[in-house]
Every structure is written in structure tokens, then in C-alpha cells.
């Protein structure tokens, strides 16, 4: 939606509220945003619960780690080398020729050097990975007699040495889990909140120091571990989401205190969700009494005797033996809601997965078992619907930048909205 005027917290809040009203979204369980001050203020003005984007958290963790001087020098050399090859078509052609000669393939391979974007750390990883892969071919080019002296000097000055290659290989190995974590948490096809705690545990284990680590790698691991613990504190939503995933409901990666807290949170949420359901039924409008049947003129009006409470209590199956009724009396008094809720939670934790569950997604599993765990299913819908990252929304911004270009800059905001909506939802229908 077009935001008129400055993108202040007040204007963003008003724009969000218009969208909520237009689509009848209702009160969201939580809203995922990055750390921008105007976005935080907008969510605060609306009174929503805010969850900090985990994609941005991982980005900040890695950016802090690669700011050490040793890595900065290696990145500077790599960027200079990539920039040189991008500006020289002859050097690019020589690199492609070296690739063909050394791999034995006749067709041209798309292994051009990659320039990183400073706002996206994974592009820095891609740049380093490609440079390490292509360094032997780059060194071969520097030793060719057919190239100019200036070209040879530029390449030799910025090409990585064997010691630097060894360090970069360890750095790439360290960054790979963070790349996978970013991909997992920034998905928009399936729920992601339940992966936050397992991913954090996985990343913390990846930052454990080893004796054979290079000193640069140890420095990076210490920075990463510190930033992770600071930015990945245990929060309510990830804890509940992990608990509501049948694969991780026992929370093997959590402490005993976190497990106890998670179960208490689940009970509180399920109790509140149940109350909301009852309130909706009560406020749905008065139920009109059923109209009495009009007797025929030929029939005598019969006066109904008051129902016997004792008789009403003995509800039996149609094939029950009346003679045994006095010893088979079953009370019809309802169990307290708290007792039923505790029983449902205990049943969930002791529930054994079936082999057929392997073919179900997480949401499909809750759909299949909604009748067994009605209260927990209602909580799962609210918790699992919150994305762990705001990256899917930023993909929409990127799409808008593709649609509105220099040669297509007079589209109205309404048409831009329609184009974006159709593009993002087309695969659901065609």
C-alpha cells in the first residue's frame, strides 16, 4: 500500500490499520518486523505484539564477525580482484578459457566471479566461495606470457596465497550453517517459527572452538557466540512453536527451566483461547426459542409432566438392558475445563506418531488431529502463523522495484497493488 508523506511510525500504523480493516484480518497474534525504529513504533501504536526478524538477527551476527581486521583485508583483496575481472572482458574470457582447459568441458561454464553486496552477508559468502574455487585458474592467468605486465601484477597482488586460501576455507565452513539457517528461517511456503530454537542451538554448536582452528576463526567464533546469545534470547513465541511441533515437543535442546516455562505458557494460551471461543458463542446473538407445535382440533392438548432429573441422568445406549440400569448409572455432570485441558495437554505429550504422519506437513498434521486436540490446535494456528522473518515481505518490495522501473514509472498505486497481488498469488490458482 502506498504510504503518503514521510514513513513515520504514525503513517505506517495508519496504513497497516487500513489493510487490516480492508481484509478483515482481525487482531494478529504477533507482527514480525526488522529493527527499524519507525516500524517498531508503528506496531507499538497499534498495540500488537512485535517479534524481531530472525533473518536480520543472523545478518547482524555474521556482519559483526567478519569485521575483524584479518577478514577485512581478505575481503578487500577479493573485491578488488572481482572488480578487475568485471571491468575487463578479455580477463573474463581468459578465465572462462582456463575453466574449459582444466575441467575438460567444451561448453562455456557460468562460473563468473561474484561481487558481494554489503547489506547482504550471504553474498559475501558467495563471493569468497567462488574466489576460492577459481583461484587456481586466476593464478594460471597471471603466469601467462600473452597478458600485459599491468594485468599480471594486478592479479598477483590480489590473488590469495595458500595460507589465505586455508583460512578462507575455514571461514566458509563456519559461515555455511548460517547460510542454511537463513534459508530455513526466511522461507514463506511453510511455517518457520518452530525452527527458531533448534536453529539457534545448531548455530551455537557451530561456533564452539576447537584446538586446530586458526586464530582468525577462533576470533570469529567468539564474536558469533556472543552476538547469538545476546540476540537469540528465549522468547515466548519460538518456545511455544517448538512445543507445538510434534517433532520437537519434548524440547531436547532446551533447559529444564525452559521446558517448564513452555508447558505453563501452553496451558495459559490454550485456556485463553478456549475462553475466547465461549465468548464468541455467547456474543453471537440471542437464540430464539423454538415455536410450539399447534395442536389439531381433533387432538386434546396434553400437559407435559416435568422431567424427572433422575431419569434424565440415566442416558444409555439404545441396546442397553434396563434391568442393569440401577448398577450402570453414569453421572452426566461435566468435568471442569481445567481438568479437560490438562488431560488434553498430557495426551498430546504422550501421543505417538503414526507412520502415515511422515507424509503430512506440520499444518496438515494439526488439521488431521484437530478433533483430538481442539484447544491446542487453536493455539497452534495462532503461533505457527507468525513468520520467523520479515524477508518474505521484503521480497515483495523487490518485486515492486521490478514492476515500477524507469520505463514504467507512471503506474497508479492501485495498479501496482494489483500487479503485485497477482504475481504473489498466481501459483495458487494457475
pLDDT digits (tens, 9 = 90+) for 302-348: 545 555 544 445 556 666 666 666 666 555 556 666 788 999 999 99
Comparing 15-19, 123-127, 314-318, 352-356, the range with the smallest average pLDDT is 314-318
One-character DSSP codes across 47-91: T--EEE-HHHHHHHHHHHHTTSHHHHHHHHHHHHHHHHHHH-HHH
Same domain flag for 90 and 65? yes
Same domain flag for 240 and 349? yes
Comparing 1-5, 200-204, 300-304, 327-331, the range with the smallest average pLDDT is 300-304
Same domain flag for 48 and 112? no
Would 267 be classed as within a structural domain? yes
- Which is higher by pLDDT, 310 or 225? 225
Same domain flag for 414 and 398? yes
Would 416 be classed as within a structural domain? yes
Would 264 be classed as within a structural domain? yes
Range of the domain at 399: 394-430
Beta-ladder partners of 32:
51
Same domain flag for 194 and 212? yes
- Mind listing the pLDDT tens digit for each residue in 34-91? 989 999 999 999 999 999 999 999 999 999 999 888 899 999 999 999 999 999 988 8
Same domain flag for 196 and 72? yes
Classify the phi-psi angles of 251: left when phi > 0, otherwise alpha if psi is within -120 to 50, otherwise beta: left
Mean pLDDT of the chain: 85
Closest CA to 55 of 402, 423, 393, 401: 393
- Mind listing the pLDDT tens digit for each residue in 130-173? 999 999 999 999 988 888 899 999 999 999 999 999 999 999 99
Question: Grid coordinates representing 422?
Answer: 497477482
Same domain flag for 190 and 93? yes
Same domain flag for 14 and 127? no
As a whole number, mean pLDDT of residues 178-197 equals 93
Same domain flag for 100 and 213? yes
Is the pLDDT reported for residue 178 higher than 60? Answer: yes
HSE-CB at 276 with a 13 A cutoff on CA atoms is 11
Same domain flag for 111 and 251? no
Say how many domains are in the chain: 4
The domain boundary, picked from 231, 266, 290, lies at 231
Would 307 be classed as within a structural domain? no
The domain boundary, picked from 28, 52, 76, lies at 52
Q: How many helices (H) and strands (E) does the chain have?
A: 18, 2
Confidence of residue 353 (pLDDT cuts 50, 70, 90): confident
Comparing 2-16, 57-71, 227-241, 290-304, the range with the smallest average pLDDT is 290-304
Confidence of residue 98 (pLDDT cuts 50, 70, 90): confident
Same domain flag for 195 and 213? yes
Would 295 be classed as within a structural domain? no
Would 254 be classed as within a structural domain? yes
Alpha carbon distance 127, 74 (integer Å):
11
Question: Grid coordinates representing 235?
Answer: 522468547
Alpha carbon distance 217, 241 (integer Å):
33
Alpha carbon distance 265, 400 (integer Å):
39
Would 287 be classed as within a structural domain? no
pTM: 0.80
Contact 141, 95 (CB under 8 A): yes
Amino acid at each position: 500500500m502506498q504510504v503518503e508523506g514521510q514513513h513515520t511510525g504514525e503513517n505506517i500504523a495508519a496504513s497497516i490499520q487500513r489493510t487490516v480493516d480492508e481484509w478483515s484480518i482481525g487482531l494478529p497474534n504477533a507482527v514480525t518486523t526488522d529493527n527499524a525504529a519507525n516500524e517498531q513504533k508503528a506496531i507499538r501504536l497499534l498495540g500488537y505484539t512485535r517479534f524481531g526478524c530472525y533473518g536480520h538477527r543472523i545478518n547482524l551476527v555474521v556482519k559483526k564477525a567478519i569485521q575483524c581486521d584479518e577478514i577485512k583485508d581478505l575481503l578487500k583483496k577479493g573485491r578488488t580482484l572481482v572488480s578487475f575481472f568485471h571491468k575487463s572482458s578479455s580477463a573474463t574470457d581468459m578465465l572462462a578459457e582456463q575453466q574449459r582447459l582444466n575441467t575438460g568441458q567444451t561448453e562455456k561454464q557460468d562460473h563468473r566471479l561474484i561481487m558481494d553486496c554489503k547489506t547482504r552477508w550471504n553474498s559475501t559468502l558467495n563471493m569468497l566461495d567462488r574466489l576460492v574455487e577459481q583461484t587456481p585458474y586466476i593464478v594460471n592467468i597471471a603466469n601467462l606470457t600473452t597478458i600485459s605486465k599491468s594485468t599480471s601484477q594486478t592479479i598477483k597482488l590480489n590473488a590469495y596465497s595458500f595460507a589465505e586460501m586455508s583460512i578462507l576455507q575455514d571461514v566458509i565452513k563456519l559461515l555455511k550453517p548460517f547460510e542454511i539457517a537463513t534459508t530455513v528461517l526466511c522461507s514463506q511456503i511453510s511455517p518457520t517459527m518452530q525452527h527458531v530454537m533448534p536453529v539457534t542451538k545448531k548455530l551455537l554448536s557451530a561456533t564452539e572452538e576447537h584446538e586446530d582452528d586458526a586464530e582468525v576463526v577462533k576470533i570469529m567464533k567468539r564474536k558469533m557466540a556472543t552476538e547469538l546469545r545476546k540476540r537469540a534470547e528465549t522468547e515466548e513465541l519460538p518456545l511455544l512453536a517448538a512445543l507445538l511441533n510434534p517433532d520437537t515437543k519434548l524440547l531436547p535442546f532446551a533447559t529444564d527451566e525452559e521446558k517448564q516455562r513452555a508447558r505453563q505458557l501452553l496451558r495459559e494460551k490454550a485456556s485463553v483461547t478456549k475462553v475466547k471461543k465461549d465468548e464468541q458463542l455467547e456474543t453471537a446473538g440471542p437464540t430464539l426459542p423454538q415455536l410450539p407445535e399447534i395442536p389439531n382440533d381433533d387432538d386434546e392438548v396434553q400437559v407435559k409432566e416435568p422431567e424427572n432429573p433422575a431419569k434424565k441422568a440415566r442416558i444409555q445406549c439404545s441396546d442397553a438392558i434396563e434391568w442393569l440400569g440401577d448398577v450402570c448409572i453414569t453421572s452426566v455432570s461435566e468435568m471442569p475445563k481445567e481438568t479437560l485441558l490438562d488431560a488434553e495437554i498430557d495426551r498430546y505429550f504422550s501421543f505417538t506418531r503414526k507412520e502415515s504422519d511422515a507424509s503430512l506437513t506440520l499444518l496438515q498434521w494439526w488439521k488431521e488431529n484437530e478433533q483430538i486436540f481442539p484447544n491446542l490446535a487453536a493455539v497452534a494456528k495462532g503461533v505457527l502463523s507468525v513468520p520467523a522473518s520479515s524477508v518474505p515481505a521484503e521480497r515483495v518490495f523487490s518485486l515492486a522495484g521490478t514492476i515500477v522501473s524507469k520505463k514504467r514509472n507512471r503506474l497508479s498505486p492501485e495498479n501496482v497493488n494489483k500487479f503485485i497481488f497477482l504475481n504473489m498469488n498466481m501459483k495458487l490458482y494457475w
